[in-house]
Structure 1
Amino acid sequence: MKKKLFLISMMFVATSSAWAQGSLNKQQYAEDSKRAATRYADDKKLCADETSSASRMQCLRDAKTEYNNALATAKANATQTAVKPLSSKSEPMCADCGKVIAVDVSDKEGDGSALGVIAGGVAGALLGNQVGGGTGRDLATIAGAAGGAFAGHKIEQRVKSSKVWTVTVQYDNGSKNSFQFDHEPGLISGDLVKNNGNTIVRR
């Protein structure tokens, strides 16, 4: 009889643990989905700043892909039902472990080269040379060259611009640090990460 009561008690504990884990997983999925939707909305706003329709369409496709990946990750995390075993000993704090608290996407201006300055200067000088005559033409040529060089430099910087992902992590000890990626890191707010050399990986 005692053995039967013990088995019933163990089944009740296991069922309660599974139910509690399922509730936590649903709540985590809802939070992850909300964060993914917020980020998707922010990405679409960034796409609206693209200069051409082709760039905007590509940006929107990339944003949609990232959104779908984030939802898939949230769903995968929600299906994990493993419960950590109870332990009488407290686990030591992981100094390199933390949680992602923000993922920001920004545009990084490219580096201009002498080629852009020279090409812009030549184009500006040619345009300036078409204005006026004599000393006025010389001044217009010089001004055109200077303005063209500056414009050429800026145009080259914009053409070479790229996106940068900045991931902010809050560690278990309370400190914070930011990491930059030149590609989609596949991380969203709430992800658990740890240091791996000069970068971070999911844990």
Structure 2
Amino acid sequence: MKPVLLTALCLCCQLAWADANADFNMAKQKIDADYKAALTACGEQPKAEQAACKREAKSTMQASLSDARKQKEADAKCRDCGTVISANTYEIKGEGSALGAVAGGVAGALLGKQVGKGDGNKVATVAGAAGGAYAGYKLEEHIKTKQAYEYEVKLANGKTVTIRPEPAHEQAQFKAGDKVKVNGQAIQAR
């Protein structure tokens, strides 16, 4: 392996490990605070129940620390890996164009020309063209609107992200429970 590539690979591993350590340290601080609060609550129990309460608090703290260590290891291995929580549709608004406006304007003008005589006919023709142009533009916008899928993913570090892949998925590619790897707005199966 080339030295530059190896150095870059090691740097990525160190960054992932540093982030995993930071997350673990934050979790440990919360676990310690919860343990102290539990011990305080145990001190308020009747004397006969205090020892059992303290054992339960210690057991809970140790289990939480074990889970935090496992999470730290998982984070260090693949911070961008996770599980799909849900696949939901969203709307990608279509865009109208001059073609839709022109077609609508022509149709509106033809309909407007059927109304009245003289100046009234001219006004109706112009109004029909304007209304038709707007309607044609909006109709094309509506026709080009499409549904796409976005995915809510719970990452290995516990964070939840919403991914809208580019290009958009018009058919669901993943379902809840699928294991995936996320890279920006790209998502792939693991």
- Residue 100, structure 1, aligned to residue 78, structure 2: no
- AA partner of residue 122 (structure 1): V
Higher helix share: 2
Q: Report the CA distance between 1:107 and its aligned residue.
A: 3.9
1:153-174 Cα distance to aligned partner (Å, 9 max, x none): 1221232232211111122223
Matching of residues 145-184 of structure 1 within 5 Å: 145-180=129-164, 181-184=168-171
Q: How many residues align?
A: 115
Q: Report the CA distance between 1:188 and its aligned residue.
A: 0.7
Q: Report the CA distance between 1:140 and its aligned residue.
A: 1.1
- Residue 190, structure 1, aligned to residue 177, structure 2: yes
Find the residue that maps to 2:157 and give its secondary structure. Answer: coil
* 2:114 aligned partner: 130
Specify every segment of 5 or more residues in structure 1 that has no aligned partner in the other structure, as ranges.
1-88
Provide the TM-score with structure 2 as the length reference: 0.54
Given candidates 99, 102, 105, the residue that maps to 1:121 is: 105
- AA partner of residue 145 (structure 1): A
Give the superposed CA RMSD.
2.1
Q: Report the CA distance between 1:139 and its aligned residue.
A: 1.7
The answer as to whether partners of 2:87 and 2:172 remain within 8 angstroms in 1 is no
Q: Report the CA distance between 1:197 and its aligned residue.
A: 5.5
* 1:60 aligned partner: none
- Residue 139, structure 1, aligned to residue 126, structure 2: no
1:15-52 Cα distance to aligned partner (Å, 9 max, x none): xxxxxxxxxxxxxxxxxxxxxxxxxxxxxxxxxxxxxx
Q: Report the CA distance between 1:92 and its aligned residue.
A: 4.0
Provide the TM-score with structure 1 as the length reference: 0.51
Extract structure 1 runs of 4+ deviating beyond 4 A: none
Q: Report the CA distance between 1:108 and its aligned residue.
A: 2.7
Find the residue that maps to 2:176 and give its secondary structure. Answer: coil
The answer as to whether partners of 2:74 and 2:156 remain within 8 angstroms in 1 is no
Instruction: State how far apart, in whole Å, the 2-side matches of 1:120 and 1:127 are.
Output: 11
Instruction: State how far apart, in whole Å, the 1-side matches of 2:123 and 2:159 are.
Output: 58
1:121-145 Cα distance to aligned partner (Å, 9 max, x none): 1110111111112222222112111
Instruction: State how far apart, in whole Å, the 2-side matches of 1:105 and 1:155 are.
Output: 22
The structure that has the greater radius of gyration is 2
Find the residue that maps to 1:105 and give its secondary structure. Answer: strand
